[in-house]
Amino acid sequence: MVMSDMKYDYDLLVIGSGPGGEGAAMQAAKGGKRVAVVERHVSLGGGCTHWGTIPSKALRYSITSTMNALKNPMFREWGIRVSPTMKQLKQGTQAIIGKQVQMRQSFYDRNNVPVLKGTAVFVDDHTVDIEGERVTAGYFVIATGSRPFRPDGVDFSHPAIYDSDTILELDTKPHTITIYGAGVVGTEYASMFRNLGIKVNLVNTRDKLLEFLDDEIIDALSYHLRDQGVLIRHNETFESIEGCEGVGDCGAVLTLKSGKRLKTDVILWANGRQGNTAKLGLEAIGIEPNSRGQLIVDDQFLTARDHIYAVGDVIGYPSLASAAYTQGRAAAMHMLGEKDGNLRVHDIPTGIYTSPEISSVGKTERELTAACIPYEVGQSNFKSLARAQIVGATVGMLKLLFHRETREILGVHCFGVNASEIIHIGQAIMNQPAPNNTIEYFVETTFNYPTMAEAYRVAALNGYNRLF
């Protein structure tokens, strides 16, 4: 274990209080280190709590549950026909954020980790300046997160032009919206806005949606977005965005290099993110970010300096709150001398909150085919599950990929209601030591009935039937 060095104010100074910073701070504090966290925002939690994951998922739940209720035939029979505003749909979000901040503050209080308010700027290898005050530390974890990339020449102050942070400030429901960028954020918002009955253009710079997913999942997502009425445009590149000049809400125009022009009430820019490193004073310590402001790290999340770690969105992929927390813990454990390696970073499930949800872990069919691994497929369609029929969520499926000879589970892919929860059952079994990591577990295990988890037994049996 690294001993405390009393010549510094702290053993570890964490810059940023999002999931990555919190994970590092808590792990180091529990390891007996003197830890402090620097946070420039008025409240704890970082972008995850205030601008990204928590508010967007709260809004998604509000939209989904409200619109599902309004579609209930009983409401129509009773003559209830309402159209909730964006302001109404966001009403509970601030209360949720407040609870998250309060909970996180209690973690720091319980573990005697002070939160220093302000922006940290490196002065030298072991010193930062925080609003005029010098603070020293033996080690640092940079967990400053990211922000939406904003291209030059686009006026984001125009009332019809938003990025993925500011879109949550939208109080008036538009009739039409164009979303430029069909990554995770773009597809999630396309799904959300379409559920509200808003006409959606989804502009993709690639030839298919979310290329890192299994091809069958990609096809299912594309089909259901189109089935819901989303107009998807592939292989398009941005030329310019111009807000209309006029009285009232006059919208904005997206011009593409193909010559197409799309005019809608609102344009959401959802194409790429920029690491928050510009104001850290990294030039003083010889660390240079890449062109997107992201920091390069090794398997232990160390930067070019052997006492400075970086975790979370500031290092880029996979840019998930869940992964950031694990990365923060891994960095702190390495600093403490407790672990080499990065805590199962190969085992990070995707969680995409479209409607329906998508989640996956492990290899795709495309990857297994390219590697010449003899695999087989077991599949369960949600429409055949009693639980899905009861709750009226029959769209979706669970797919197990397993080795033909050893029966080892190689990948789990889910599309449908509660996919982000269901995936963890497969993840847990997939990572057991052999021979406990096979589809035999699902064949021989009794599942509650009726449940969505029962899809694992159905898929495993389906896969067995393909063997000969």
Say if residue 182 carries a ligand binding annotation. Answer: yes
What is the C-alpha separation between 232 and 243, in angstroms, rounded?
22
Say if residue 197 carries a ligand binding annotation. Answer: no
Say if residue 184 carries a ligand binding annotation. Answer: yes
What is the C-alpha separation between 45 and 201, in angstroms, rounded?
32
Contacts of 18 (CB under 8 A, 6+ apart): 45, 46, 47, 48, 49, 143, 145, 312, 313, 321, 324
Q: Find residue 402's DSSP bridge partners.
A: 376, 409
Say if residue 281 carries a ligand binding annotation. Answer: no
- Helix and strand element counts for the chain (H, E): 14, 22
Q: Tokens 């006409």 appear where?
A: 199
Say if residue 144 carries a ligand binding annotation. Answer: yes
Say if residue 351 carries a ligand binding annotation. Answer: no
What is the C-alpha separation between 220 and 374, in angstroms, rounded?
24
Say if residue 183 carries a ligand binding annotation. Answer: yes
Say if residue 272 carries a ligand binding annotation. Answer: yes
Task: Count CB neighbours of 83 within 10 A.
Answer: 9
Contacts of 311 (CB under 8 A, 6+ apart): 20, 21, 23, 24, 141, 142, 143, 297, 301, 324, 327, 328, 330, 331
Contacts of 350 (CB under 8 A, 6+ apart): 212, 213, 318, 320, 358, 359, 360, 361
User: Rounded to the nearest 10 degrees, what angle do helices 53-70 and 93-110 cross at?
Assistant: 140
Say if residue 145 carries a ligand binding annotation. Answer: yes
Q: Which residues are annotated as a binding site for NAD(+)?
A: 181-188, 272
Binding site residues for FAD, as ranges? 57, 144-146, 313
In the annotated binding site, the residues are 57, 144-146, 181-188, 272, 313
